[in-house]
Amino acid sequence: MGTTLESRTAVVTGGSSGIGLATARLFADEGARVVITGRNEARLRAAAESIGPRASWIAADLAREAGARSLAAQLAGLGLRVDVLFANAGAANAPELFETTEDGFDAVIDANLKSAFFTVTACFDLLADGASVILTSSVGFHRGTLGDPLYTAAKAGVRALGRGFAGQRAFLDRHIRVNTLGFGAVATPLTGADNPDVARAMRDWATANVPVKRPADPLEAAGPALFLAGAASSYLTGAELAVDGGLAQL
């Protein structure tokens, strides 16, 4: 067990599977008390048990402002000050482009952009001075041919939020850093890793399109989050780290 986050409290949204769960496990292994959040209580309970005694969970629908406020209220009720906030919740829920209704449009924005905005603003007063805020984005918006336009637009908004939050005097005065992780192809349930046919298709796509010839494992996505959470990244704020195997870089 490491000590990078010893005596720190980390909140990981979307923490019951995929990148969120891998990151929560890594944070706990590095000494943090971890609170994972999501909508499904049974999955959260199982995930927290799999992480171990350093983990607990809070159920909240962060696609709604009320859910973010509920998360903040429950964290406050536990008497926690948050040293690391990983706003990772999101969904690959974009419908077919020319079949997108207004409700479908709103669902994508709510899950991927509104959730990040209200998670950070609702929890801001609970952040410790010097805290690290990490947002999950996607590198897809850097190239028009990567991903669905609506999903990547939402993730572009998350990247803009990261820069915008970081530059706010309220964050700077308290030395709260805000950085963004831009992911490419990561093998998670969100991208169909639980379905053998979908997982195979994703591996084939990554072999053909990603410079390193494969998708990332969730732990490879968690490692950069640990870097941003700890003191090694103390001079970074407003930055985007592309964790994409060169997909949008080369």
The answer to whether position 153 is within a domain reads: yes
The answer to whether position 198 is within a domain reads: no
Report the pLDDT value the prediction gives residue 26, as an integer from 0 to 100. 98
- Whole-Å CA distances, 209 to 143, 145, 168, 184, 212: 13, 11, 37, 11, 9
The answer to whether position 197 is within a domain reads: no
Report the pLDDT value the prediction gives residue 150, as an integer from 0 to 100. 96
Report the run of H or E that residue 9 belongs to, with start and end: strand 9-13
The answer to whether position 76 is within a domain reads: yes
Q: Match 């308290």 to its residue by tokens.
A: 174
Report the pLDDT value the prediction gives residue 146, as an integer from 0 to 100. 79
Phi-psi sector, 161: left (phi>0), alpha (psi -120 to 50), beta: alpha
> Which of 162, 176, 224, 239 lies closest to 23, judged by CA?
224
- Whole-Å CA distances, 249 to 135, 176, 202, 220, 241: 20, 28, 19, 18, 11
pTM of the model: 0.96
The answer to whether position 210 is within a domain reads: no
> What is the domain count for the chain?
1
Report the pLDDT value the prediction gives residue 1, as an integer from 0 to 100. 72
Q: Which residues are catalytic?
A: 151
Alpha helices in the chain (DSSP H): 18-29, 41-51, 65-77, 102-109, 115-123, 149-166, 169-173, 196-209, 218-229
Report the pLDDT value the prediction gives residue 191, as an integer from 0 to 100. 67
- Dig out the tokens for 32 from the structure: 């943090």
CA angle in degrees (0–180, nearest 5) for 232-38-24: 30
**What is the C-alpha R_g of the chain?**
17
CATH (domain of 117): 3.40.50.720
Report the pLDDT value the prediction gives residue 82, as an integer from 0 to 100. 98
Please list the ranges in the chain whose pLDDT falls under 70.
190-193
The answer to whether position 39 is within a domain reads: yes
Report the pLDDT value the prediction gives residue 2, as an integer from 0 to 100. 85
Report the pLDDT value the prediction gives residue 173, as an integer from 0 to 100. 98
The answer to whether position 249 is within a domain reads: no
In terms of residue numbers, what domain contains 179?
Answer: 9-191+219-243
The answer to whether position 144 is within a domain reads: yes
